[in-house]
Amino acid sequence: MKKLGSVVLAALLALVMLCFAACTVQIGDITEDENTSQTNKTYKVGICQLVQHEALDAATEGFKQALTDKLGADKVEFDVQNGSGQTDMCVTIVNSFVSQKVDLIMANATPALQAAANATLDIPILGTSITEYGVALDIENFNGVVGRNISGTSDLAPLAEQADMVLEFAPEAKTVGILYCSAEANSVYQAKVVKEALEGKGLTVKIFTFSDSNDVSQVSSQAASECDALYIPTDNTAASCAETINGVVAPTKTPIIAGEEGICRGCGVATLSISYYNLGYKTGEMAAEVLTGKADITTLAIAYDEHPVKKYNKTLCDELGITVPEGYEAIAD
């Protein structure tokens, strides 16, 4: 009887060990499959760019290059869509990204970011070429962290220093016009800050706004006729119409200080410029961290270009007979 009990006990023990071994193999297989799946994952990233112009194009290229560098060219599938300057088009684009369940949305410019923010609370969103996230997303007392599925990079350059440049390039100016698109919230914000800075220097400031590209020429002509110098912030409509602005302003010999290099290349004499390619690249690095789980987007602070550069447009400065102050470098042709 004891012998039979010992045999049964040994058999049960052997059965338990066999099951444990089987479970161990199964668990090991699952872990290995999960690791393999993660290693072989291809991320789908939707890019919504408001409009095609030099600065936004550079930001998109920098973003794509960074993700390719960080994750590998075979690990990222990009779906790049252009809103043609239309907010409604951006809404349609980001809604399609949401329906496709992309892994991440990159929103290039404020209207694209606003559309994405309204479209999803779940898919990570990284903005770039955004001047002020608090203004763009209507966040009071913004502290640098959005606190939901949104983060990104800002193209804000020191506005007070840009205001100083007006008198550096137009020392006799008494009246300065600020020219921008009234539909762009970040342009409104920049105009307000620069207006206060210029008025603090004793200058008279006039505001000139266009609603879209259709009235850029007329409004620019009026501004040039009434002012000694003009300032244009990092405005997407102005950037896409820089040659049009130059066509009506240059004959009046009215110097323009621009918020970014692309606008300055097209119609300005000087800018305090950031690199939009580098800004996009930084956004791509952030995207890699978010996609691989190394960063929590809900706590990820907005990043800035900390090294803006003073640049001037040699061709326009020569045409206007402007002596360029020290400390500026020529924009490359």
- Is residue 199 domain-shared with residue 292, that is, in the same domain? no
- In this predicted structure, what is the pLDDT of residue 227? 98
pLDDT reported for residue 60: 98
Whether residue 240 is contained in a domain is answered as: yes
Same domain for 179 and 150: no
Asked whether residue 254 falls in the same domain as residue 203, the answer is yes
- Of 93, 122, 155, the closest CA to residue 283 belongs to 155
Taking only the tens place, the pLDDT of each residue in 56-72 is 999 999 999 999 999 99
170-223: per-residue pLDDT in tens?
999 999 999 999 999 999 999 999 999 999 999 999 999 999 999 999 999 999
Domain membership of residue 100 (yes or no) is yes
Q: Do both 315 and 223 map to the same domain?
A: yes
Contact 82, 100 (CB under 8 A): no
Confidence check: pLDDT of 248 > 60:
yes
Residue 9 within any structural domain of the chain:
no
**Residues β-bridged to residue 108:** 49, 128
Q: What is the pTM of this model?
A: 0.81
Residue 252 and residue 192 share a domain: yes
Q: Residues 145, 181: one domain?
A: no
Residues 51 and 148 in one domain: yes
**Neighbour-count burial for 10-49, b at 16+ CB within 10 Å, e otherwise:** eeeeeeeeeeeeeeeeeeeeeeeeeeeeeeeeebebbbbb
C-alpha–C-alpha distance, residues 240 and 262, integer Å: 9
Range of the domain at 181: 159-273+309-330
**27 assigned to some structural domain:** no
Q: Verify that 147 and 232 share a domain, yes or no.
A: no
For the chain, the three-class secondary structure string (H helix, E strand, C coil) is CHHHHHHHHHHHHHHHHHHHHHHHHHHHHHHHHHHHHHHHCCEEEEEEECCCCHHHHHHHHHHHHHHHHHHCHHHEEEEEEECCCCHHHHHHHHHHHHHHCCCEEEEECHHHHHHHHHHCCCCCEEEEEECCHHHHCCCCCCCCCCCCCEEEEECCCCHHHHHHHHHHHCCCCCEEEEEEECCCHHHHHHHHHHHHHHHCCCCEEEEEEECCHHHHHHHHHHHHHHCCEEEECCCHHHHHCHHHHHHHHHHHCCCEEECCHHHHHHHCCEEEECCHHHHHHHHHHHHHHHHCCCCCHHHCCCEECCCCEEEECHHHHHHHCCCCCCCCEECCC
Q: Which two tokens stand for residue 208?
A: 């000139």
In this predicted structure, what is the pLDDT of residue 333?
77
Q: What is the largest CA-CA distance in the chain?
A: 115
d(CA 113, CA 137): 8
- What is the pLDDT averaged over residues 108-116? 97
pLDDT grade, residue 39 (50/70/90)?
A: low
* Same domain (yes/no): 147, 69: yes
One domain, residues 211 and 292: no
Do 227 and 269 share a domain, yes or no?
yes
Same domain, yes or no, for 286 and 325? no
Domain count, the chain: 2
Residue bearing the bigger pLDDT, 38 or 88 = 88
Q: What is the pLDDT of residues 61-110, one digit of tens each?
A: 999 999 999 999 999 999 999 999 999 999 999 999 999 999 999 999 99
Q: Look at residue 308 and tell me whether its pLDDT is greater than 60.
A: yes
What local confidence, expressed as pLDDT, does residue 36 receive?
Answer: 43
Query: What backbone torsions phi and psi does residue 288 show, to the nearest 5 degrees?
Result: -60, -40
CATH number of the domain encompassing residue 185 = 3.40.50.2300
Distance CA 287, CA 67 (A): 7
